[in-house]
Every structure is written in C-alpha cells, then in structure tokens.
Structure 1
Amino acid sequence: MPIYKSICPYDCPTTCGLLVESDGTRITKVKGDPDDPICSGLICRKMQRYEKSIHSTDRILTPLKRTGQKGEGKFEPISWDEAVETITGKWKQSLDEYGPDSILPFYYSGVMSLIQRNCGDALFNKMGSCQLIKTLCSSAKGAGYQSVLGGTGGLDPRELVDSDMYIVWGSNMKATRLQSMPDLLKGRKQGKRVVLIESFAGEMAQYADQVVLVKPGTDGALALGMMHVLVKEGLEDSEFLQNEAIGYAEFKDTLDEYSPEWAESVCGVSAQLIVELAREYAAAKAPAIILGSGNSRYGNGGMTVRLITILSTFSGAWQHPGGGLCGCNPGMRECIDSTRITRPDLRERVGRKVNINQLAMALKGEEGQIPIRCLHIYGSNPVGSVSNQLGIEQGLADPDLFTVVHERFMTDTARYADIILPATFSVEQSDCYSAYGYCSFGAAYKIIPAAGECKSNWDIFCLLAKGMGYTDSHFQRSEDDLVAELLDNPMAGLQDITSKQREILKTGGMISLPYADHTSWKTPSGKIEIINNTLKDPVPHYQECHGGPYPLRLIAVPSSETLNSVFLEREELVQSRGAMFLEIHPDDAEARSIADGDSIVAYNDLGEVAFTARVTPLIAKGAVAAAGIFMRRQSGNGNLVNTLHHERLSDMGEATTLNDNTVEVRI
C-alpha cells in the first residue's frame, strides 16, 4: 500500500515527521518517519494510532445547526449554503448594528500548521473585527528570555548530546519533549547528572538523579539563591560576564540579600541543597537548563524566566557546545512570509484588542464597551482550556451571542455553538510547518479526500469571504496555491537551503536548518542584558506571584496520554490516563483527613471541582496538581480544573497565570 510523508499538526515543540499508509481514501497506518531530522521515527503514543481519530464514527461530517438550548448539544444537519448564509447574515447584521468590534475571532493551538492555523486573520482583518491577543501558553516565558537575550538562539534540543549536566526545570519532557528523552537517558547512563526542579515531579522523577521540589511560583527565589552562592564562593565566570554582559556588577551587588537561607524561606528548598546545587552547576563545563513553560504561568512568570535565563549565563556555559538554556527561542531565522497568510494590509482600522486569557471578561462586557455579538472559534476548545470555565460558559449561553465553531468532534465548546462547521484533519489538507522548539521546517500535502462534507479552515474562510462579498484574489485560490507561493518566496531561513532540501519541501517532508550561534547576542546592545533599562524593573529582583487567600497552591500539569483536549475522542488514551486526579502531599492530605483514592472537592472563589485524591510525596508541600485536560462528562460535578483559574495576566507578555491560583480541598 502506498506510503506518504506527512507532519504532526499538534501543539508540540517537535513537529514530527510521519509516514502515512493509505489506499487513497482511508488512512490505514501511521508511524514516525525515520528520515525525519528531529524525531528519527520516534513519535508519541497519541499519534501512533492517528487513523483512529481520522476515521472515528463520532466525527462531525456535516454542518450543524443548534436545535436545543445552548450547551445542551442538540443539533441538526444543514447544507453548506445555509451555514454560510446564516453566518455571513449574522456578521453583516452585527456590523451594521454594533460595528466590527462586536465580532471576535478566537483560535489557538488546535492546529499548529502555518496556513490552517492563521488563515482566518485575513478575513477578520478585511472585516476590521476585534484582534485576539494570543498569549495562552508561554508568552511570559518568551518575554522573560527576550529581556535578557533578545533574539539570541538557545539550544536546539539536538545539541543536548554535548551537555555534561542537565537541570530539567519545570518540564515534563515525557509529555512535551519526548524526542529529547533518549539523549537524556543516554547521558545519564554516561554519568551525566540529571536534576529535576519541579513543583510536581510526577512522570519525570524516575528519570532524574535528584528531585528538587519547589513551592509553586517561587522558582525565581531558587535561581537567586543559587546565584548568591556562585558569587559568594567565586564560582561564577566573572570574566565572561564582565566581557559579555551589561549590568553584571550592579546586579551582583544586589545578590547579598538573596542568601540560601532567604531562598529556603521562600521556595521551600533547604539552604544546604541550594548551596550543593549551585556548586554542582558551577563545576560542570557545559550544563544545560531545559526550561519548561509551567513556571512562567504566574503573575511573576516573566521575571522568573528572566532570573533563570541570567543564571544560565553565570557559569559561562553558553561558550561551550551543549551549554546554556534549552526550551526558549532556538534562533531559527524566519522561513516564510507569514503576512502572505494573515494579510495585515487588508485591515483598514485598528480593532479592539481582546486577550485570549480573558474570554469570559470579554463576553460579559464592561460598561460603555461594545458587546461581543459574534464569536468565531476554530482550533480551540476554550471551555476546557481557558481560565474561568464557568464565566466562559455563562458568556457562551447568552442568547444574544452568535457562536460558530469549526470542529471534528462534539467538544464542550462546540455544544454551545449556534453553527458547527465540520473541520478536516491534517492528512485532508495541505500546509507548511515550522517547529517552535527546533531549527526545522516542513511541508505536507493532502493525502486523502476530506471525510463527508468536512472542509479545511482555509476553504471555510474562503467560502465565508465570498459570502461577505469580498472579492480580493487572496480568497479565490487553493491552499496548495498558497503553499507554493510561500515556498517560492522564501525568507532568510530558507534562502540558503540545498536543492535536495527544496525538493523535500516541494514533495513533502521536514528539513533541518542550521543551529544558532549561541554567543552571537541578538540584543539591542549586542550583549547579555542582565540590566535592561527598557523594562519597568531594569534590575532583576525577586517578585511575588499573585497567590490568593486559600492555603494550597494549585498547578495544572501536562499528561503524556492526553496533552490537550485534541485527543479526548480516543477512548484508549482517556482510559490509560485515568480519572481526574488531584495530587496532594501526604502531610497536606493527613491534615484534611484525606486518603488516597478519596472523592474530594477543590474550591476557591470561582467555583468547585470534583477530583479523586492521589496522595504522593512527589509534590511540594502546600501544593496540589491537576494533570491533563478532561471533558465535562468526565468530571464528578461537570466542572474542570480551569474553573479554578482566574483571568489575571502575567507581569510580562500578557500571558496566562493558570498556575497562580490557590484553593482549599475537602472530602
């Protein structure tokens, strides 16, 4: 049976190459591409049976119109003509009565390819609608890193083979960086130390030589305590910092107040352990900090990443192969001109800005503000993944709100739609892909016809543009035409590739691009900017997170079985993951008379969520952790963990603070 190359479209730093077996109408088997420069054939369990999702009997195959109450999930099939006429009619009415700021497009990481993810921007730019600030995941992390190193490329994970020590800091690599796990395990067998710094060690504890449990939201205090030790004992690379950094001397003077004893009082890690960890880090020649995103999802998230980034420079590790920081910008040059997809030139007015993390607030509206009357959701399931679930559901239930959802399955968000448009899978469409964690780029082309009446996001938006009467030629071509245009007009990242690599992109596949020069500081000053005078706080310092009045700090952590809500239609993955557990430390459980396996409720001022207790010493005292994303029907009371998440934003990057909430727990 013919085998085709494709690419995983989901939210992951790797963007794995796939080999897809097909008879021309169905996908019969999916496996990793051994020729892929990133995964080398290793793909996660979620994608190993991708064909089960593509050909699921639960898939939505025709446009649907709501017949029941919003949230009830009752719909009837309609034609595409009726769907387009209904949607564009509502848009035109809203534009006439309220203006373009009454229309909000809403999307995020349900599909991570370049065209299908971003193609709606052109239509909504033409319309002049609200503009979505897409900072759901790790923008505070990016802003914190950028404040120190600008556009300097961090380590591509493939460079970790040269590291001589690994500090895995807030990263469940098994769930989010699976392809780097073989290097980590091999390095450990070679005697390279693996230290895991986490609030909940969970799946990664077994792969570490040492686990350091830190109180949620206090990672910056640990970084400062370590730098205090490095300076006090003369273990920092002062020559490197004096030559390559701005503000080293001034920042060094502030470290006196951040003693290990002080850090212990804040983050819960013993002063002695902080001293030992700092010494061990300094003794390594090329230590790598593998930084996750969870510790940036706080009110102090940007400052936390800023401090950890500065720590990564203190030993001079960046001078050596494998040394420095992995998990932020890998430094790949831009490959394609994204404006050819998003068409900002079509926008004639500045639209109202709506932060993706404050959807409930936007739908509720504020006095004097134009209400959102039309909501268009694609590549996203906000009921299950955005802060303040109950507030979002209240907004979606508003009878005056007209909601459209592109979907493949009946998600908790789709149940609130007025119109559902059946969406395609990656093998039913063409696109380009840029890995956000690696220096790689790829293209993948349609393999099988779309099931039923499903259409790609691109085709849907072209239909809607026609329904709106927009005649711009941009909306009158195929996605294959756009892929060809992007590849025929490459940006700097693709201009020096070989003829063989160009052929791979034209026929389908991933290519590897050069690693960054890690000591070519891409900052305004041309140096590491420890002191950054463009910031509100030029001198780095410890900063408290939002916190709250309840005694337990709640964190949400990834699950390797169902990283996000995309895979909830796969029953074997859902069953493997298990119930909605809340991880709790034995001391905190005993104080509340909670035993392992008990039915419990976590609550705060936003609501209550039912969990099953899992008592474990792998979580920091004073913290509780909820792993994975679920559907409402899998919850004991219909509420998901994001019920307990406030809509507050981070200090930098306007990011989510979903880990910066407190709760109490009862039986």
Structure 2
Amino acid sequence: MPSSIRISPNVSFEKASGKVRGACPHDCPDTCALLTTVENGVAVKVQGNPAHPQTGGVLCTKVSRYTERSYHPDRILQPLKRVGPKGSGKFETVNWDAALGEIAGRLQAIAQRNPEAIVPYSYAGTMGLVQSESMAARFFNKLGASLLERTICSAAGGEGLVQTLGGKVGMKVEFFAEAKLILIWGSNSIASNLHFWRYVQEAKRQGAKIICIDPRRTETAEKCHEHIALRPGTDAALALGLMHELIVNDWLDHAYIESHTIGWPLLRERALLWNPERVAEVCGIPAEQVRSLARDYGQCFAKGEPAAIRLNYGMQRVHGGGNATRAVACLPALTGAWRHRAGGMLLSSSGTVPVNRAALQRPDLLAGRQPRLLNMISIGDDLLRESSAAFGPKIEALIVYNSNPVAVAPESGKVVQGFAREDLFTVVLEHFQTDTADYADFILPATTQLEHWDVHGAYGHTDVLLNQPAIAPVGQARPNTEIFRGLAARMGWTEPCFLEDDETLCRTAFSHPDGDRVDFNELLDKGFATLPVPDAPFAEGRFPTPSGKCEFFSARLAAQGLDGLPNHVPNHEAAGSSASYPLAMISPPARNFLNSSFVNVKSLRDIESEPVLEIHADDALARGISTGTVVKVFNQRGNYRVKAEVSARARPGVVHGLGIWWRKLGLDGTNVNQLTSQQLTDLGHGPVFYDCLVEVQAEVQADTAPAS
C-alpha cells in the first residue's frame, strides 16, 4: 500500500497508527459514530465510538466486520473495461487516464446529440452528503443530463409526513426510553434499528408495554408483549380503527385538537366509518385486537402517560403507503401525546438536518435548463423505451454509483433486458463486481468509508457526523468525488467548483449565509455534533406545516385533486383479488444484509446461508411443501426459484422472500425482485415492493434434513 495517496486535490493521507473517528455510511436510522484502529496504515478494527451517546460503543454485526469488506479479496482495485458480451462479467484492466478519457469522449459525443440521453442512477450505497450528492450532482447539472427521481426507499412515507406534520420530523429517539407504551409499527428494529431497540429495552425494564405491528413475526415481534400480524398494506385501516375507538371512548385531548390541528371534524367523520369489525375484515386480525390496541393507546392519555410510535419504512412500500403514514401520524395529535417528550412518533428525523444542498449540488450549473425527470423505480421500462415526444430521447448512457439496480430495482427481468443492450454505454462506480457491474462497459474502483472524507446527517436521531479517512485508498480506488472531478477535467470544464477538495465540500454541506448551525470544528474534534432540537418539539403545536398545525386535512393535497384526508388505499394487488396468485408476498431484508450490501461478505453470507422463502405451515401443506423444498414462486412478471422454509414467522396467506440477494447467487440467477412491480405509491412516487401477489409451487421434494 503506498505511503501517501491523494484523496482530493488538496488533501493527502499519510500512513499512521492510532484511532480515527468516522461515521457509518449505510442506509440505517442509527448513523453510528465509528472508531477505526489503524496500525502502520492498515485498519485492523472498526468499533462504535463510546463517546457518541446514540452509538454507545455498539455496532451491528454487519458494520463491526467492515475491515473484511474494505480488504475483501474480490474488491475491485483498478479500472476495468469490458471485453466480453454484456452481462458476461468479462473485463480487462486499464489505467485511469485511458478509462476517464474514453468515458468523457463517449459522454461528450452523446451530449452533443442530446445530453438528456445520459442518465445518472444512484441511491444510498453511501448516505454521505459529499460522496453521494456533491461533485456528481455538479457534473450532471453542468452536462445537462436527465435528472433522477430518487424514490426507491422512503418517498411515500416522507411525503405522508410532509403533508401531515410539515416535514421529516418527530420525537427524539432517546426519549422512547421514558415511554409507557411503544408501538413498533412496520419495523424489525433488532435487525434494522439496533440502537433504538436499546431504548425500548430500557423502557421495558421500567414497565412499558411494547407492541409490534408487522405482517411478519420478526425477531423484534418475538421480543414484544404483543404482535399484531395484519395483512400487508392495511396499516391505514388499522390506524383509522384506532381513531374510531379513541372517539367512541373519548380518549381524546380536545384542547390539543382545538389549538394545534386542522380538519378534525372531517377526520372524525371518516374515522367513525371504521369500526373494529370492518378493520378486522380488512386487516385479517380479530376485532378484539383492534379494541385492545386502542385501549392501550387511549388509556395512556387517560392516565397522563406518554405513548410513542416508532414507524419504519416497510409499511409504506405498498400502494397506500403515503396515506398509511398520514393516518398513523395523526394519532399523537388526537391524544395530545406530543405534549410529552416521550410521546409522539418518529419515522424520520432527517428534516432537522440543515443541509445546504444548493451549495453542494450547484443547480445554477443547469443554466436555466429543466432536464427531464426519470423515476428510478421505472428504470426497467425506461431502458427499453425508444425516443418519443412523450418520453424524450432514448437512454444512451447510464452512470451508476452508490446503487446496484440490477439487484434492487423492481421487475428485474426488464432491468436486466435494459442493461443488456449493446448500444447502452454503462459506467459503474463500485467496490465489487455486483450484478449491475457485470453489465458495465467500465467499472471504476471506488473507495470505501475508511478511505475518504464525508459528512452525514441521520434519519433516526438528531446528530450530524464527520467521517475522516482512516487509511489510504486501497489499490487504485478513488472517492466518487475524485472520479467526477477527473471526468469534469477531461470534459474541459474549468469552473472552480470542480476543483474543491473533499474537506471543503464537507464544510460546504452545513454552510449557511446566516450562520452555520453546525460547528465544523466540533465535528473535527469529536466526530459528531448534536443539533439544537427541542426535547418536545410539538408540545405547543408549531408544526412546520403552512398552517403551523398538524394537518389532518391537507389543503395542498386537495389542491392536487387528491383526498385531503388520510384513508385506506387498497393494494394494487390486494389479497384475495386474484385466483391465479392467491398469496401476498413481502420481501423484507435478510437480517445480516443491508439492501444488497454485505451480500458478498463471506462471514455474513455464511450466517444467512442461502436465499429462502418463508411460508406458513398451512400454505405449505396445501402445496406439498416442506422446509428445503425447491419452489417456483411466480406471477405475471416472472419466476423465482428458491428453497422454502416453513416458518412461524409467516402468517397464513403471506410469504416472505427475504432479500436482497445478488441475482448471481440465486438458484437460477434471479432474486425476489423478478416478481415485484414498477407500480407506484399513492404519494411520493415510491415503490410497492410489498404489494405483490404470487403463487408458489413445489418443484422438487425436500431432503430429509433442513437446508443448511
């Protein structure tokens, strides 16, 4: 490893020993503070920073093995150029100058015809503001490329919060420890929000009741006092049923409703249509369970005790996901739960992070142009479209970074078709030869989190963090920022913004002309800084909505011709609506993966063993399926072969295709997204991964022993 490697134009990294403060880059609410131990320029250990209260020195299994990922023997460490057919995975090494020169030349030729034929595709492979949003956005803005609507994770829920609370805001996560009732709604917190679970355990020790609402009996549901296993896509119906019971039992904070909400008479009228029997029929749960849940929630108000709701994004990946989020977000205002610092709800806190995105992304480089906007969910269809007046130019070039769309995008059969086009010029910035990288014309080696500067907000707490490079880039890897700087230079662009180094970009992220809300020196000294957010932000109302109130009725939605009130919006593919495909399928992440990251880390893949489909014993018996049976899961979009696991985690009528495995690791080179659709949510243009009907057939009989 070289003793000194430049990681940005004005910053070099010297070999060193000691501990370096950083931040976890992955798509998780916890955004942990890291300490990397370095010995003679080599990272030997990654651990949680004990000085950071939210991390408390504890990391998940995935990130605690981060050195295994950075030094993985399969890591791409020099630029690669395709020499075989698309998808064959055959490449030869090239030097950086040759790679960047040819890429820039190809992009310039396409841009001369129509720059909108060039499309960037990225998401949350890193959540860092600098490596995901800065130099790349500047490059594509200057180029005039198509813009990407980045909606694949949280768009429906985020829009639901904006229309109800005014933004991605909520209670402080640490105060869940003081709540007397916690509803964990659509979240497997033990697997995907570990540090929140620490607060739940503290509350539990103090006598709090913990209830999990989730179609799947997750590791989290097993540890709660009660599990409500509703059908996928029926969360809004349950929330409206709770409102019904709050009304008829008068478990309402009338003063809070009067002073701090809008639209109560209309919401009351709608909620009274949702008695427990109707809710039970829609959700597939007992009516008494609806009454009991409402009683638990309403009695907290009656006793003056705080009740808290932790939402996560699983419940909004269905047709009605935005409305479901809106319905749940109304509940704390009905009971005045916001009066307590340990009451209210939290889905995302990212709206509290003061990011200066204009300074990072430089939209002024568009020079007044308004390029077309493509939704990342429809990449399968869009790559197969020809030029037209409605669509615009055919996509001729795709630049992929921080994402693995061939594995993670819905209806992946079409995605593969599109990526396999020989006339599509594809560049992928990556650490490993993923499913997507197999279809690249060039693979450019990117740095991991241990090798570059970045800054991070959070969506599960109210701290911001700085990541400093702990080691020099391994091999010839370069940060995303440096790669786009190099491309800009070869395009002949001379604007000073393309010369800014990564530390400058980190400072820019939180800059503000009226004074920075984040002290960058504090970030350098501690690695993190806590934002000045009130302990009980909505105790006196003051929601960041246009009205300053919790908007049960959204005039903004009504002005768009949409329903101003939250409602139950049935799934595109509702349970019982198809005789051909009688089973609902959801595809939650495998516990030891994060989206498609970590799938190739051997120690983690060994824990997961292989892709499986969880199926309830009743559904398995009816189909002659046992644990270990190879099954064909299919619908009108495709087939997926996988081993079955007869499991108590599944409720009758619902199967779980655990993801997101790389396609190349599946039995027939596919994964669960062969079956998911490109349809969108009611709000936010988000994906509907958990709104999917299938049938399952046994293909071969099980071995006598379970699969290992």
Q: What TM-score do you get using the length of structure 1 for normalisation?
A: 0.96
Deviation at 1:492, TM superposition (A): 7.3
Give the letter for the 2:228 counterpart.
V
Corresponding residue to 2:298 among 267, 271, 282: 282
Identical aligned residues as a percent:
34
Between the aligned partners of 2:228 and 2:310, the Cα distance in structure 1 is: 14
Deviation at 1:485, TM superposition (A): 4.2
* 1:221-262 CA distance string (max 9 Å, x none): 111111111111222223321222111122212223211101
Between the aligned partners of 2:332 and 2:614, the Cα distance in structure 1 is: 30
Task: Judge which range, 279-288 or 247-256, deviates more.
Answer: 247-256
- Determine whether 1:105 maps to 2:120: yes
* 1:461-520 CA distance string (max 9 Å, x none): 000001111111111232123224446x3477943x6xxx64331346012223341232
* 1:171-219 CA distance string (max 9 Å, x none): 0101221011121122222221010110112221221001110001111
- Determine whether 1:315 maps to 2:335: yes
* 1:302-331 CA distance string (max 9 Å, x none): 011111111232222111121111123365
Match of 2:496 in 1: 473
Match of 1:292 in 2: 312
Give the letter for the 1:153 counterpart.
V
Between the aligned partners of 1:94 and 1:286, the Cα distance in structure 2 is: 59
Between the aligned partners of 2:497 and 2:514, the Cα distance in structure 1 is: 24
- Determine whether 1:526 maps to 2:541: no
- Determine whether 1:591 maps to 2:610: no
- Counterparts in 2 of 1:222-241, with a 5 A limit? 222-241=238-257
Corresponding residue to 1:217 among 229, 233, 257: 233
Deviation at 1:566, TM superposition (A): 1.7
Corresponding residue to 1:25 among 33, 41, 44: 41
Any conservation in 2 of the 1:444–1:508 contact (CA below 8 Å)? no
Match of 1:388 in 2: 411
Deviation at 1:298, TM superposition (A): 1.0
Between the aligned partners of 1:637 and 1:438, the Cα distance in structure 2 is: 41
Deviation at 1:388, TM superposition (A): 1.3
Task: Judge which range, 453-462 or 84-93, deviates more.
Answer: 84-93
Match of 1:620 in 2: 651
- Determine whether 1:9 maps to 2:32: no
Match of 1:248 in 2: 264
Distance 1:331 1:160, change over 3 A: farther
Give the letter for the 2:334 counterpart.
F
Any conservation in 2 of the 1:62–1:453 contact (CA below 8 Å)? yes
Deviation at 1:543, TM superposition (A): 1.7
Any conservation in 1 of the 2:353–2:457 contact (CA below 8 Å)? no
Any conservation in 2 of the 1:430–1:444 contact (CA below 8 Å)? yes
Match of 2:565 in 1: 539
State the Cα RMSD in Å: 1.6
Give the letter for the 2:365 counterpart.
L
Match of 2:669 in 1: 638
Give the letter for the 1:232 counterpart.
V
Distance 1:560 1:486, change over 3 A: same
Distance 1:506 1:475, change over 3 A: same
Match of 1:602 in 2: 633
Between the aligned partners of 2:387 and 2:272, the Cα distance in structure 1 is: 48
* 1:305-360 CA distance string (max 9 Å, x none): 111111232222111121111123365251x4222221101012111111011111
SS, match of residue 463 in structure 1: helix
Between the aligned partners of 1:455 and 1:266, the Cα distance in structure 2 is: 52
Between the aligned partners of 1:217 and 1:242, the Cα distance in structure 2 is: 31
Any conservation in 2 of the 1:555–1:624 contact (CA below 8 Å)? yes
Distance 1:152 1:561, change over 3 A: closer
Between the aligned partners of 2:220 and 2:507, the Cα distance in structure 1 is: 42
Match of 2:524 in 1: 506
Match of 1:324 in 2: 344
Match of 1:339 in 2: 358
SS, match of residue 597 in structure 2: helix
- Determine whether 1:656 maps to 2:656: no
Give the letter for the 1:541 counterpart.
N
Match of 2:7 in 1: none
SS, match of residue 241 in structure 1: helix
Corresponding residue to 2:214 among 172, 191, 198: 198
SS, match of residue 567 in structure 1: coil
Between the aligned partners of 2:433 and 2:387, the Cα distance in structure 1 is: 34
- Determine whether 1:147 maps to 2:166: no
Distance 1:531 1:373, change over 3 A: same
Match of 1:448 in 2: 471
Distance 1:502 1:116, change over 3 A: closer
Between the aligned partners of 1:531 and 1:434, the Cα distance in structure 2 is: 30
Q: What TM-score do you get using the length of structure 2 for normalisation?
A: 0.91
Q: Which runs of 5+ in 2 are unaligned?
A: 1-16, 699-708
Distance 1:347 1:527, change over 3 A: same
User: Stretches of 4+ moved more than 6 A in 1?
Assistant: none
Corresponding residue to 1:556 among 577, 583, 587: 587
Match of 2:706 in 1: none
Between the aligned partners of 1:227 and 1:91, the Cα distance in structure 2 is: 55
- Determine whether 1:566 maps to 2:592: no
Between the aligned partners of 2:334 and 2:515, the Cα distance in structure 1 is: 30
Q: Which runs of 5+ in 1 are unaligned?
A: none
Distance 1:417 1:508, change over 3 A: farther
Between the aligned partners of 2:92 and 2:180, the Cα distance in structure 1 is: 60
Between the aligned partners of 1:573 and 1:530, the Cα distance in structure 2 is: 44
Any conservation in 1 of the 2:20–2:468 contact (CA below 8 Å)? no
Give the letter for the 2:417 counterpart.
Q
- Determine whether 1:611 maps to 2:647: no
Any conservation in 2 of the 1:30–1:48 contact (CA below 8 Å)? yes
Between the aligned partners of 1:138 and 1:113, the Cα distance in structure 2 is: 17
Any conservation in 1 of the 2:131–2:454 contact (CA below 8 Å)? yes
Between the aligned partners of 1:183 and 1:437, the Cα distance in structure 2 is: 12
SS, match of residue 148 in structure 2: strand
Between the aligned partners of 2:612 and 2:506, the Cα distance in structure 1 is: 43
Distance 1:458 1:339, change over 3 A: same
Deviation at 1:370, TM superposition (A): 1.0
Deviation at 1:596, TM superposition (A): 2.3
Between the aligned partners of 2:59 and 2:43, the Cα distance in structure 1 is: 17
SS, match of residue 235 in structure 1: coil
Give the letter for the 1:373 counterpart.
E
